[in-house]
Amino acid sequence: MELTGSAALVTGAASGLGAAMAARLAGEGMRVIGVDLPAAIEGAGEAPAGVHLVAADVTDEVDVAVALAVAEGELRLVVNCAGIAPARRILSSHGAHDLATFRRTLEVNLVGTFNVLRLAAEVMAGHEPDADGHRGLIVNTASVAAYEGQIGQIAYAASKGGVVSMTIAAARDLARSGIRVNTIAPGIVDTPMLASLGDEVRASLEATVPFPHRLARPDEYAQLVVMLAQHDYLNGETIRMDGALRMAPR
Q: Which domains does the chain have, with CATH numbers?
A: 7-187+217-241 (3.40.50.720)
Residue 75: pLDDT above 70? yes
Residue 194 has a pLDDT of 74
- Whether the ω angle into residue 212 lies within 30 degrees of 0, i.e. cis, is yes
- The pLDDT, as a whole number, for residue 196 is 65
What pLDDT does residue 197 have? 65
- Phi, psi of 233, deg, nearest 5: -95, -5
CB 53 within 8 A of CB 59: no
pLDDT at residue 239 above 80?
Answer: yes
CA atoms within 13 A of residue 77's CA, in its CB half-sphere: 31
- Which one of 39-53, 73-87, 166-180 scores highest in mean pLDDT? 166-180
Output the average pLDDT for the chain: 94
| Helix, strand, coil percentages, rounded to 5, for the chain | 45, 20, 40
Residues noted as catalytic: 156
Q: Hey, what amino acid is at 189?
A: V
How far apart (Å, rounded) are the C-alpha atoms in residues 167 and 205? 28
Decide if 18 contacts 36 (C-beta within 8 A): yes
pLDDT for position 193: 66
Q: In this predicted model, what pLDDT tens digit does every residue of 175-222 receive, in sequence order? A: 999 999 999 999 999 987 677 667 887 888 899 999 999 999 999 999
